[in-house]
Structure 1
Amino acid sequence: MRKIGITTTVPVEILLAANCKVIDLNNVFISGDSYSEDIERAERDGFPKSSCAWIKGIYGACLRCGISEIVGVQEGDCSNTGALLEVLKTRGIKVYHFSYPASHNVSDITIEMNKFMKAFNVSLEQTEAVRTSLSTIRKYAKAIDELTYIDNKATGFENHISQVTLSDFDGNPQKCGQLLEAKISEISKRQPRKQLLRLGYIGVPPMICDVFEYAERFNACFVYNEVQREFSFPRAAQAKDIYEQYYDYTYPYDLNFRLLEIKKQIRQRRLDGIIHYTQSFCHRAIQDIVIKQELDIPVFTIEGDKSNCLDSRTKLRLEAFLDMLVDLRGLKQ
């Protein structure tokens, strides 16, 4: 089976229809034992220390895994992806481009999707067949999400993993579906958690994944993971076709479109506070200014760089933020 890497979520249905094994290099990088080595390799090869650790990690993971073909998103994701792709070309890697048009209208998205289908020699009918076959797996991720914010049984980290894995279905949709189904069975048997504070996580998936477990020490739980949830396409069943599905995907478009869904989820999930994760040297960090102006609940911003765990200073600041939420909401420990 043809193996192809991706730099972020792309229309995976098209790649699967082309009989590709899809590998999200973000997941390979952040979950592997070679996490720091991937970054170091990129810096040895000339990537500046003042560049995003995600970009360096993707580069290192791509070479480590022997990826010979990669799909990069140049519009609607990281502003550094174009430069990354140029470097990978010099390493002999074949590059495909995909864009989420800034215009954010269905006609322009249709043009981009059709170009992508043509590049991989698949038809709309084949793509829609795969989209239908993935619907059950997407429902499993949605079920775990509901076990998180409705039943209070799944942890924030389990919610994170179950949704972020749908960017590439772990390279094997059938096995991914089986694992999620088994996880639902396991979680459903638990007693509900009793944390006082209900948190939302917004921004790119974190490099510092211990933030989920650390918050739980202070009677708080994450019941909303914004971008991870978008990776799982929770509204795919309501989309009439692949074009509409990717039109409704909030992450790659303007901040106002993202905020509409974030505000809806704040109300629906009864959130007490928001953790906004930003990555050092990322243009999206500037959006924190607007986010804090637009949201009517407290927002705590964490900026990550190379480390994959919380530092002491951030732990203290996070603890103080959670204490403030307890006081603000008039809750008792």
Structure 2
Amino acid sequence: MKNIGITTTVPIEVLIAAGYEVKDLNNIFITDENYCKYIDDAEKDGFPRSSCAFKKGVYGVAVKAGFKEIIGVTEGDCSNTKALEEVLRMKGVRVYPFAYPQSHRLEDVKISLDKFMNIFKVSFEQVERIRIRLVKIRKLIKELDELTYIENKATAVENHIYQVSASDFNGNYKEFENDLINKIEEIKKRNPVEKKLRLGYIGTPPMTLDLYEYVEKFDARFVYNEIQREFAFPRAINCNSIYEQYYDYTYPYDVKFRLEEIDRQIHERKIDALIHYTQAFCYRQIEHIVIKNSISVPILNIEGDKLNALDERTKLRIEAFLDMVIDLKEIE
């Protein structure tokens, strides 16, 4: 089976129907024990230090792992992705385009998906068969999510890992499904863990995975991972087609559309406060201006760069924020 790399979540159903094994370059980068080597390789090849660590990591993985084909998102992702694609083309990598239309109209999403299917010579019917098969796995991920925020049994980091992995199903959706089934059965046997504060995580999935463990040292736990949940397409269960599924996906569209879903989850999950993670040198840092003025609960913005662990300053800011939210909750 042929490998193809993706730099963000794309219509994986099309690629699987075309006979590809899909690999999310971000996930390979961030889970490597020696992840810094990919950043170093990118900087040696000329990437500026003042550029996104994820983009450098993705480049390093694509080159070092010898990917010959990747999907390039030309609309609906970071503008740096376009420059990354040009460099990869120079390296001999074949880059296929896909766009999330900023008009965010269903008819335009259909045009974009039809173009993508034509590139890989697969039919709508073939793609729908794969989509329906993957919906079974997405239902399981939704069950794990409910074990996090309703049953209080799954940990926030488990919630993060299984949802973020839905971008590529770890390269093999059948093996991923079996692993997920076993994990859910294990989680169900646990006792619930109740904490005073129920937190939401919004923004790009973090470089600093120890954030979850650090927060749980206090009387708090995350019950919502925003973008990770979107990668798992929790509402795909109710969609009638591949077109509706990618129309309903919040991540690539405007921040107002994202905020509508975030607000729904704040109320459904009874969230007391949010932590908004942004990556250094990313345009999404500017979106925080809109987000903080649109959210009804306290929100803390933290920033990551190259480190995969929280620095002491960020730890202090998180601790002070949690203390403040607990004080506010007690006043109420």
Q: Given the two structures, how large is their TM-score scaled by the length of structure 1? A: 0.99
Q: How does 1:213-224 map to 2 (within 5 A)?
A: 213-224=213-224
Q: Which runs of 5+ in 2 are unaligned?
A: none
Superposition RMSD in Å: 0.9
* Residue 33 of structure 1: how far off its partner (Å): 2.1
Structure 1 distance, partners of 2:198, 2:123, is 44
Structure 2 distance, partners of 1:207, 1:245, is 27
The answer to whether residue 75 in structure 2 is matched with residue 94 in structure 1 is: no
The answer to whether residue 55 in structure 2 is matched with residue 55 in structure 1 is: yes
The answer to whether residue 3 in structure 2 is matched with residue 3 in structure 1 is: yes
Structure 2 distance, partners of 1:74, 1:92, is 18
* Residue 136 of structure 1: how far off its partner (Å): 1.2
* Residue 34 of structure 1: how far off its partner (Å): 2.9
What is the DSSP-based 3-state SS (H/G/I as helix, E as strand, rest coil) of the residue aligned with 2:293? helix
Letter in 1 for 2:154: A
Structure 2 distance, partners of 1:277, 1:46, is 27
Letter in 2 for 1:125: E
Q: Deviations over 1:37-64 (max 9, x none)?
A: 0000000000000000010000001112
Query: How many positions carry a matched residue from both structures?
Result: 332
What is the DSSP-based 3-state SS (H/G/I as helix, E as strand, rest coil) of the residue aligned with 2:122? coil
Q: How does 1:57-206 map to 2 (within 5 A)?
A: 57-206=57-206
* Residue 331 of structure 1: how far off its partner (Å): 7.8
- Is the contact made by 1:196 and 1:331 (CA closer than 8 Å) also made in structure 2? no
* Residue 163 of structure 1: how far off its partner (Å): 0.4
Letter in 2 for 1:34: N
Structure 1 distance, partners of 2:15, 2:131, is 11
The 4+ residue runs of structure 1 with deviation greater than 6 A are none
- Find the counterpart in structure 2 of residue 308 from structure 1: 308
Letter in 1 for 2:211: V
Structure 2 distance, partners of 1:82, 1:135, is 31
Structure 1 distance, partners of 2:331, 2:127, is 50
Q: Deviations over 1:8-56 (max 9, x none)?
A: 0000000000010000000000001230000000000000000000100
* Residue 74 of structure 1: how far off its partner (Å): 2.0
Q: Given the two structures, how large is their TM-score scaled by the length of structure 2? A: 0.99
Q: Which runs of 5+ in 1 are unaligned?
A: none
The answer to whether residue 36 in structure 2 is matched with residue 26 in structure 1 is: no
Structure 2 distance, partners of 1:16, 1:148, is 29
Structure 1 distance, partners of 2:206, 2:214, is 13
- Find the counterpart in structure 2 of residue 297 from structure 1: 297
Report the more deviating stretch, 43-52 or 58-67: 58-67
What is the DSSP-based 3-state SS (H/G/I as helix, E as strand, rest coil) of the residue aligned with 1:121? coil
Structure 1 distance, partners of 2:205, 2:250, is 14
* Residue 79 of structure 1: how far off its partner (Å): 1.2
Letter in 2 for 1:140: L
What is the DSSP-based 3-state SS (H/G/I as helix, E as strand, rest coil) of the residue aligned with 1:330? helix
* Residue 194 of structure 1: how far off its partner (Å): 1.8
* Residue 196 of structure 1: how far off its partner (Å): 1.1
* Residue 135 of structure 1: how far off its partner (Å): 1.3
- Find the counterpart in structure 2 of residue 267 from structure 1: 267
Alignment identity in percent?
58
What is the DSSP-based 3-state SS (H/G/I as helix, E as strand, rest coil) of the residue aligned with 1:274? strand
Structure 1 distance, partners of 2:227, 2:108, is 23
- Find the counterpart in structure 1 of residue 44 from structure 2: 44
